[in-house]
Amino acid sequence: MDFELMINSLPKLLNATVITLKLLSLSLFFGLFIGFLFAVLRMNKNPIINKFAYGYSYVFRGTPLLVQIFIIYYGLGQVEYLRSTVLWVILKEPYWCAIIAFALNTGAYTSEILRSAFQTIKPGMIEAGKSLGISSKIIFYKIQIPIAIRQSLPAYGNEIILMLKGTSLASTVTLMDLTGVAKYIISTTFKPIEVFIVAGGIYLFMTFLVHNTIKYLERKFSY
Amino acid sequence: MELLAFGKTGWGDELFYATLMTLAVSVTAMLIGFFFALIFTPLKLSKNKFLNLIGNFYTTVIRGVPELLVIYLFFFGGSGTIMFVASMFGYFEYIEINAFITGSFAIGIISGAYSTEVFRGAIQSIDKGQFEASKVLGIKKHIQFYKVILPQMLRLAIPNLSNVWQITLKDTSLISVTGLVEIMRQSYIAAGSTRDPLFFYSFAAVLYLLLTYFSMKLINKLELKYSRGY
């Protein structure tokens, strides 16, 4: 065991953790919007809109995240037309490509989580609201959404942890996130176990924090 | 379309063999995962605090650390460890282990952590009365497990195991970083030499979708088989 290496690599790895956290928070932020949008589309009665939303989540859940990043980072750069538009400012940056891929991916999972949360709401709740003369808009915002958020908390907590682990793939498109830096240190020192313990420890600490925060929120919002 | 032709002119046959490689790695990893689950599920269910701790340590660490990091650990650490063991037996030559074995092992350990959780959940949700009833009937412990608990457990576990299979299948794309030529690696090579990454990565996505689609169909059949009588 090379304890010196472990201590020396800790500041570098902690620095890289900042990038991991940035990637995670931005993709979750955009992913939540995408997920909410597609969950609503999934519940639409129009079969075309419905199928479209289902297809989106099926494709993004059925293919590896690595393929999705590569399509966006390497693939889209090949389209001549895109290079001439404003979008290129974003798409030439590996950082934003990674965030787009992560957001689309977590959006697909989030839409499934939210959809099933909406479906577990008892029809009686909505009927009760209607019989009290509350407009369906207010029923949606004041009754359905709060219940759905509470219902989806445990599954969403898992999704955050999966996404935290997913951000490690950013290292495949030249980003130096926690895993990227860990790999760099491993390949220069050939001490995989020591680096794994430190980097893995940082990841575990983050998972632990997410897990406990969600547990706390679950208790807070339980009814 | 001619990019996908078989033979020397296209990438069709290469991608076909790469798909078979992905399947081979996934199946091997899944089986290695079952092997790990076989060891760690009893530990997690054990009443002994120490054994329990080992079981929980395995599932928590593996499920809380990115797959890529585990793969790097095995990729860089695998041959080192084996050479260390070999040196104890007086063998000092350089040993390089096969990318297929390291890859399947790394993914297998990850898959095993998920399988362990699935089996634990399935055993715990079997009615206590089943254990007691078979005890009362004087059925031996191992027969009780094979004839009473296992069939019921499988029925409960199969839907969740199909999720584990999907995770495992998708995780195999990550061993492309070690140079094993599976779908992702082959697409990377093809994209590099034809300068058409959009096409090849999209095609890789289609291949993965086909694999998940058809394996789900197969698993659904299994599920029906085991839920007979319910």
- What separation in angstroms does the CA of B69 have from each of A46, A85, A169? 44, 37, 10
pLDDT band with cut points at 50, 70 and 90 for residue B36: very high
Please tell me if residue A144 touches chain B, with a CB cutoff of 8 Å.
no
Mutate to test the interface with B, among A9, A70, A71, A80 (most CBs of B within 10 A): A70
Which residues have a Cβ under 8 Å from the Cβ of B146 and sit 6 or more positions away? Answer: none
Question: How far does A193 lie from chain B, in Å, by closest CA?
Answer: 7
Question: What count of Cα atoms within 13 Å lies in the side-chain half-sphere of residue B228?
Answer: 5
Indicate the pTM of the whole model. Answer: 0.88
Question: How far does B41 lie from chain A, in Å, by closest CA?
Answer: 21
Question: What count of Cα atoms within 13 Å lies in the side-chain half-sphere of residue B207?
Answer: 27
Subunit contact A168:B69, Cβ cutoff 8 A: yes
Contact B60, B132 (CB under 8 A): no
Determine the residue of chain B that is closest to A166 in CA distance. Answer: B66
Hey, what's the torsion of the CAs at B191, B197, B201, B206, to 10 degrees?
A: -100
Segment B114-128, tens digit of pLDDT: 999 999 999 988 888
* Domains defined for chain B, CATH in brackets: 16-226 (1.10.3720.10)
Segment B51-101, tens digit of pLDDT: 999 999 999 999 999 999 999 998 888 777 777 777 778 777 777 778 898
Section A137-144 average pLDDT: 88
Subunit contact A67:B208, Cβ cutoff 8 A: yes
Q: Which residues of A touch B166 (CB under 8 A)?
A: 62
Subunit contact B69:A63, Cβ cutoff 8 A: no
Please tell me if residue A207 touches chain B, with a CB cutoff of 8 Å.
yes
Please tell me if residue A115 touches chain B, with a CB cutoff of 8 Å.
no
Please tell me if residue A55 touches chain B, with a CB cutoff of 8 Å.
no
Hey, what's the torsion of the CAs at A162, A165, A171, A175, to 10 degrees?
A: 80
Section A56-67 average pLDDT: 94
pLDDT score of A223:
66
Section A200-218 average pLDDT: 94
pLDDT score of B228:
75
Subunit contact A74:B201, Cβ cutoff 8 A: yes
Residue that wins the pLDDT comparison between B195 and B40: B40
Q: What tokens does B106 get?
A: 């790394």
Q: Of B171, B158, B172, whose CA–CA distance to B218 is shortest?
A: B158
Subunit contact A66:B76, Cβ cutoff 8 A: no
ipTM score assigned to the predicted complex: 0.87
Across chain B, what does the average pLDDT equal? 88
CA A142 to chain centre: 26
Segment A171-208, tens digit of pLDDT: 999 899 999 999 999 988 888 888 999 999 999 999 99
Q: Of A41, A22, A158, A206, whose CA–CA distance to A111 is shortest?
A: A41
Segment B174-194, tens digit of pLDDT: 999 888 999 999 999 998 888
Q: Which residues of B touch A105 (CB under 8 A)?
A: none
* Domains defined for chain A, CATH in brackets: 3-220 (1.10.3720.10)
Nearest by CB to residue A71, choosing from B60, B201, B212, is B201
Q: What is the CA radius of gyration of chain A?
A: 21
Which residues have a Cβ under 8 Å from the Cβ of B37 and sit 6 or more positions away? Answer: B112, B115, B116, B118, B119
Section B123-139 average pLDDT: 88
Give the percent of chain B with pLDDT over 90. Answer: 49
